[in-house]
Each structure stands twice: as C-alpha cells, then as structure tokens.
Structure 1
C-alpha cells in the first residue's frame, strides 16, 4: 500500500485517484492512499494520473500558493506593492515589507503546499514504476513527474535555502533534516538530466498535449537553476541548446503573448493551463481577478510601482510599458472596450496603493466569460527568458559578443536599439535591466535581485532595499505619485526593514520546525 501520510511537518501528500474519474481528486482529503492492486494497472490509468499531476504544479490551493508568486516575487521587490488598502492583510504586508516572522501564514502555506505537491508526484512515480505498461511510456510519465518535482524544489530552495529532500514515501513520524543547497541542486540536476534524455520536444507532442513537460522545458529549468548556482558555463551551454534546437522562438510581437487566446504558442516553453480545452485545466485563472483593479471588478492586490513604470520610461520602452502595466486614466492596450470612470479610461481606485496593475493578467472586457472566470494561462517558462539566461551567463564570462547577440534579439522585438559595444559591468547591468523590463510580473524579480551581486560582491537587493536603499529613498524623498504618496495605509517606506543578514531567505515556518522535533533549525535572523 502506498503512503497514507508523509511526515508531520509535510502534512500528508498522497493523492486519491479513482478509476471512476479524475474529479475525485478535488474531493479527496490529504493523506488518502492509493492501493497498489486497485490502480496503476493500465496505460490509460498511468497516463491519466500523470496528467492530473500537472494540476499540482499550480499547487493544491490557489489562494495559498500562486499568490506567493506575485506577493514575494513582485510585491516584495521594487516592482510592486501589496496594493489593496481597503482590507486588512497584515501577513501580506509583512512579507512585502520584510517584517514577517516564522509564524507568517502565507509563508507557511507556500511551504506546506509545495511539499503536498511533491508528495503527490512521489506517490505517482511509485505507482507507475511498478505498473505493467510499456517501458517507453513508463519512462516518459516518470520524467514528466520528475520535471514537476524539480520545479517545486527550485521554488523551495530559492525561498528557504536548505530544505528537506523528499524523494520517496516515508512511514509516519519520519523527520528529515534540511539538505544542503548543493545537495538539493544536485537532485534537481539529476532529475532534469533524466528528463532531458527521455522527454520529447514540444513539437513532437500532439497539439492537445503541448502543455506537457518537454525536453526544452527541462533544459530551460536546468539552465535557470544554473544561474542561481552561478554556474555560468552550464547556464550558457544549456540555454544555447534550447536556442539552437529550434523548437521555440520569440513571437513577432510582444503583445501576442498577452492576448486572451494565447496558449502554448511558439514562445511558450511551459505554462499552467487555465480553463482551456487541454487536460488538465484548472477551473479558471484566479489572478485575472486578484491582480485587477478594484475599479474594474478586481481585488487590487500586487499593484505595480511607479518605480517600475519609470524604468520603462527611462528606456523609451513604450511597447512593454503598455502591455505590462494598466494605468489609471489611460487606455488599456488591446481593449477598446475597457471600463471607464467619470468619462476617463480604465480606472484604478482610491483604495489602491498604486494606480497601476498588471496588463499581463488582464482579460479584455469583450472576452470575459459571463461568469467572470478567465481562462488566461499562466506562463512559467518562455523563450525570451532563455535568451536572457544565455545573455547573462555569457556576460558573466565576459563573452560580450555572444551576450549582446541574445540581448539584441529581445530588444529588437520592442524596437529598442542595443549598444553593441557594451562590455564588462556595463553589459551585465544592461542585461539585468532588460530582464526586469521583459519579465516584470512573471514572478522572478525578488529572486533576481537577491541572487545578483554588484561590483563589490554585495547582493543587488541590498542597494535597493534597506534604510538607504534606492527604492526606499525614491518613495520617501523623491516620488510625488498621487496614489502612492497619499495612500499611506500601506506604508510608503516599504523595504526600510530589509536586512541583508536575514532577508535573503524566508523563515522556515515555525509550525514545521516544531513538528520536525528538532530535525530542522531556523534560518538566521528569525525567531
């Protein structure tokens, strides 16, 4: 019999799969078990179980987890704010303003649900391993599951550093210590290399299956992980493989990516399927509601900072500006029917910290379903990211020509000139700026500024956040933005509490340390 529980600080993790249909997954309590002789007996069952697992890359409870992608990745950076000021949300403010402690419930929910997902992937791998199905199918299904597991570990390690490495099913009351960062990355490397050897290219899948993990997705995720480990040669070679294999390309227009109907196109390497005809679709894209303006039927969370808008303007980047940020009183890109307020175009709200919200998560009014539920997909990996990984890896090795070649491709699409004479730190900083402009509100900004180091070897975030950080000083001494400076329900000095010796990682949730019975210790600076 397969696992009934993982171990206490992971709180379960098996999934119930019924031969009667996949809908039972949503009704099953955590900790339910799969009985070996009742399932994984046919190719169809193994395929269905693998496809169902994709639902859990989005994790088990969207409110607990996917919002962390924008709360931590964007609102805790110079790109955004918590935004919503008409509701109290002290745990959200604590994360975005670097005042959270080990009892923070959003931080805890992210940890728990990631391990729930890993438990599901592990239990499915165990079931398929012994299934009486063709070996080629078995290898592919297991590789897909290992890709999903690698993504979860990548998310875990960039949030908390050393974490327990759970690769099998354990008996109840098993307590594992935190594995080193290197050991976790070694496992990510091992899993993804197995995926690279087995998975087909995206183009080899039938159209209806192009949501599934591909060779290119595994190469891209491993290249991205290599950046975090500062293994520049590896990040360069892996990203170059993706570029050269020709399975992906940039869309001709940046705007195409953010069309409501865009799903799994030529630039998409891996994306979460929301309410589409593909299996397994989630019911709808929750963040079309969460990230939209309260003046337009949204909840108003994770609004965009004027600092990010200024970054586009300083570069003369009008294309990405309008397709990344919806701005109060201005037309919405691609939506001539956008709601208006007092005769003006699209509205923010007086209960918003900022007058700006994500265009990348917006559904045009004419395309909104009657029930208000959007099927816009969430883009996790895309080809522009690969080009910027390659540019960064080359720039860090002083390979200026190669770096500029990839950087230019990204900038050409939005009609920006590239100084082809850039070298050294001028080139490195140009690539980093480009990454901010291209990838804003896709969940990476905080992790980028944490991992990057400046010319003195200090984390870049330390020059942005903290009492003398550029973002803090801009907001407290320079900005005259009428929304941000007047709505101080969310404090204008966001980031002033940042401390480098603490906030390069989040705290291990206090509940999980307690349940581990001494197997885990807290990250420095947290109590």
Structure 2
C-alpha cells in the first residue's frame, strides 16, 4: 500500500523542476508530456502537496500551550500568508497538468483518467480558499506572460467558485476509477470516484448550511444540500463500496490502513511503514501541542443517550477527574486518557506538564501510538481525509437541513449505525428526542462533534453553522482538579480554578467547582461582522492594482 510514495519521490526527481516553477502555456520542457507515464508522474506531485496531520486549535475543540490567534480573535491582517498563497500554488500545478495534458499523444480515456486527478485537486484547493476567504479569484489557466490581466484578477463570487468546484468534481467522477480498482500497492491512495463523491458531500453540506445561516447572496442553500444528499445516496445505496471499520480505536492505527478498510474514502499515504520516506509527527503532536477542552468533552452523551444537562447519570459533584468519564458514550474512553492509564510517557497524571506537555486540557488518546511516538517525528501511519462515517453523518445532517425532519429509518442507517460500531446502542429516534425535549438538529451535530474530534472538521462546522460567535468568546476550560489525582499542588496552578459554585473572578463559568480556567473570557473575542472570514494578506491587495478588496472590517480596503 506504501509503494506509491516510492514512485512519487522517484518521479519528482525527474519532473519536480517542471512542476515547481510558474506554469506557462508554452511547453518549455520538450522531453516531458509525451506519454501516459508522464501524465501519471505529473499527477504524483498533487499527492505530495496534500495537507497532512495537524491538530487544529482554531475552534473550541482543542487547546494548546499558547493561545491560538484565530480561536481567541487576536489576529491582524498579515503581509503575506500561506493560507492564501499555498492553495494557489497547488492550483497552478493542477492548471499546468490540465493545460499541458491536452497535448499528450494518448487516447481520450487515458488522458482524462489522469486529468481527472488534477480536476479533483483543483476543486479541493479552491474549496479550502472559499472556506477561509469567501470570494476569491478563480484562475483556470496558466499564464503565458506577466502582462496577462488575470494575474491581477479581482475576486469572483464564492458561488461562482463553488460551482466550478462541482464542475471539476463531476469531471473527476466521470473519469476516475472506482475505489476497488485501486487496491494494488502502486495505486492505493490515489483518488477515486468515491473521493469525488465524498468531496461533493462535504462541499454541498458546507455551502448549503453556510448559505442558510449566513444568508449568502446569490446562493440557493437547498440546491447545495441536494447535491450533498444525491452524492451521499449514490455512495450509500447505489455504489455500496464502503462500510464502517469494525474497531473505532484501531481505525486510526496501522490496522486501519489499505484497501481492506472500506471506511477509507480519501487518504493521504505515508511511509513505507518503518522506512520513514514521507513522515509526520501526529503522536508527538498529541503529546505536545493539543488537548481537548471541557466544552468539547461535554458533548459526549451518557450511557442513557442523554446529554450532560439532562442525564440523571451525571455524578454531582464531580470529585475525581475520572468521574466525568463514567457512564458515557464508549467513544469517550477511546478518545481521552483516564487517570492511571498508560499514556505518552507512562501513567497519566493530570496537570503534570514537565513530561506531558498537553497542559491542563484532556489528553488525546485517539490515534496515539507509542511505537510511532518513539520514532521521534518519523511516523508513517496513513491519514484518512474523508472516511465513510463522515458521509453517513453528513447525509443525516443534510437531510434534516433540507427537509426540516428525518425519519427513524434514515437515523438507523446513519447516526445509529455509527453508534452501533462502538457498542453505543441507545438509538436516536424522533420519539426519543420528543420525549426528552431534545433538539434533533443539535443531536445530529453532537454526533458529528464527538465522532470527529481532532480530525480537522470542527472549525469549519462552527463557521458554517454560524455558532462561532457563541462558542469562541467564552473562557476555555480544562480539567477538574483534585490533589489526589496529581502530584501538582493547587498553589502551583496559579489560582486558575473555579470556586465551588463554578465562578471565576466573579463570573459564572460552569456548574461545577475546581475546573481549571485555561484562557479567561476577557482574553478572547469574536466579531461576527468580521471573523467569519480570514483577512486577505495586504501584499495580495497591494499588488492587484486595486482589484482585490479586503474582507469587511479587516481594514480600510473595503
């Protein structure tokens, strides 16, 4: 399954200089673009450029040792930013392949099979830009010279860009192979029809809900949701190529790698295993850079299927840290460490940060492997970018947002099927929601939050749901403190605990005492008129000849 990356590296030694430079319409590389092998080799670069593991601290999900500028609202307009330039560099590679691929003397079928990969990745990177910036310049060609007016192109409406993403993905869907044709070692990890469908599900749900809650001008939110629904139904009921992996915990280990794992829809390959050819530092990052906040932990349901604010199983008052882990959705014990468990550097002891730098949040267990941690940032387990559980839960959410309701049958096929995988057999049904005075949409969203912790989805979710203005300005809370759980004395914590009634500096922060305050609410801000979009770097505005305007409330260029 890892052989693809040996081939990638070998190919890049040959064609890397061609793909790295600014794209051009004239073929200055006469010894390339002559065969199907060249097309495949050019596409290999697209996989190297694919983002890998990270621990996203932009939302209320994770917290790190230092305050995150996006999460806290403490950022300014940058001069330059890779958030803008990196996707455009990758889009330029896609455009180069699409343009020069037309000249390769091969059959239409052979050409389109490889150009479909470039179309897929172009849509992937444009979606990344739209999520951050909204309207962005839509560049679909290579530049022949520096006088081309599109070099200083103004921003196109986000709806125009998203429609182009759909067009690119429909081309990809037509010409990419089915995923079960990619199970050889040399092909596993390449994008498939499943990946194209999965991206349509992701984009359709994002734009549909974003349009609905932000009231985006010129966008039909139901049309986007319908695209997500149709693509999901094709995957679930027509193609039937995917299923959930049986073991949630091992899903993120080497056990879950390769074509035998039908949950994998779109994967970034690392390795070969043990060889360290292309690596990451996910396990080290779990130890050193991120921990789960108390607000995110509270999304896990109790074993009766009820949330913390309604379940009689909640232990009050909480005395020991492990009290919060009792009688919960089984995914909780697979996601965070309990006191006394073997963790990053031996037995987990809360607040002991000299050798466990996750700090005062809940330490992440999901995906941690000690043998990989020991490689010292040369980890090679693959990363799932889209997995089938996302398709199922996104389908449920899109159905509810589209229709205003969802049947018990659809809940069984989506939410309850995902719960069943971990042995959480309390079903979400319409009757359960009604009898317990719950909100169906919130319960669907809750399922998404707990299933995908530390998988890079939550920030995008609170942006599209327009809930960032509610959750981000609040104080960031972490662990419950009890001196019997940790060698750290209370006076060594800096006095950052809520009192017995959940107050801190006169402000009610929680319904329990002795909760650690990681970041005070006064240090955090979110301006709903400004912060749902990123600021455009000043360099891009200054070099556009006045064509590119700044996003609202980020400066004078509006």
TM-score by length of 2: 0.75
Q: Are 2:61 and 1:79 aligned? A: yes
1:101 is matched with: 76
Q: Deviations over 1:343-376 (max 9, x none)?
A: 95996547544343433442223x5565541002
> Could you tell me which of 480, 495, 498 is aligned with 2:526?
498
**1:390 shift after superposition:** 0.9
Alignment partner of 2:439: what SS? helix
Name the CA shift for 1:477/1:25 in 2 (closer, same or farther; >3 Å): farther
Change in 2 beyond 3 A, CA 1:313/1:409: closer
How far off is 1:84 after superposition?
Answer: 2.3
Instruction: Show the counterpart of 1:358.
Output: 364
Indicate if the aligned counterparts of 2:351 and 2:360 stay in contact, CA closer than 8 A: no
Measured against aligned partners, the alpha-carbon deviations of 1:50-70 in whole angstroms (never above 9, x if no partner) come to 123211122xxx7xxx64xx3
Aligned to 1:247: 241
- Tell me by how many angstroms 1:399 deviates: 3.1
Q: In 1, are the aligned partners of 2:294 and 2:477 still within 8 Å (CA)? A: no
Alignment of 1:154-233 (within 5 A): 154-170=127-143, 171-172=145-146, 174-208=151-185, 209-230=187-208, 231-233=224-226
Q: 3-state SS of the aligned residue for 1:270?
A: strand
Corresponding residue SS for 2:142: coil
Contact 2:351/2:359 (<8 A) preserved: no
Q: In the alignment, is residue 283 of structure 1 matched against residue 261 of structure 2? A: no
Unaligned runs of 5+ in 1: 1-16, 86-91, 294-299, 333-337, 453-458
The SS at the match of 2:49 is helix
Q: CA deviation at 1:221?
A: 0.6
Q: 1:187 to 1:203 in 2, by over 3 A?
A: same
Q: Is this contact kept in 1: 2:119–2:172, CA < 8 A?
A: yes
**Structure having the higher Rg:** 2
Q: Deviations over 1:230-278 (max 9, x none)?
A: 2322221210111121111001121121113432321000011122369
* 1:114–1:156 Cα contact (<8 Å) kept: yes
Aligned partners of 1:327 and 1:348 also within 8 Å: no
- Cα 1:484/1:378, change in 2 over 3 Å: farther
Counterpart position of 2:391: 386
Moved more, 417-426 or 174-183: 417-426
Query: Using the alignment, how far apart are the partners of 1:327 and 1:28 within structure 2?
Result: 51
1:438-483 Cα offsets, whole Å, 9 max, x none, are 111111111111212xxxxxx2223323369999999963357978
2:453 to 432, 440, 457: 440
How many residues are treated as equivalent by the alignment? Answer: 466
CA-atom RMSD in angstroms: 3.4
Measured after TM superposition, the shift of residue 222 of structure 1 is: 0.6
Do 2:265 and 2:388's aligned partners in 1 also have CA atoms closer than 8 Å?
A: yes
Contact 1:340/1:347 (8 A) holds in 2? no
- 2:551 — aligned with what? 523
Q: Given that residues 293 and 476 in structure 2 are in contact (C-alpha distance below 8 angstroms), is that contact kept between their aligned partners in structure 1?
A: no
Deviation at 1:155, TM superposition (A): 1.1
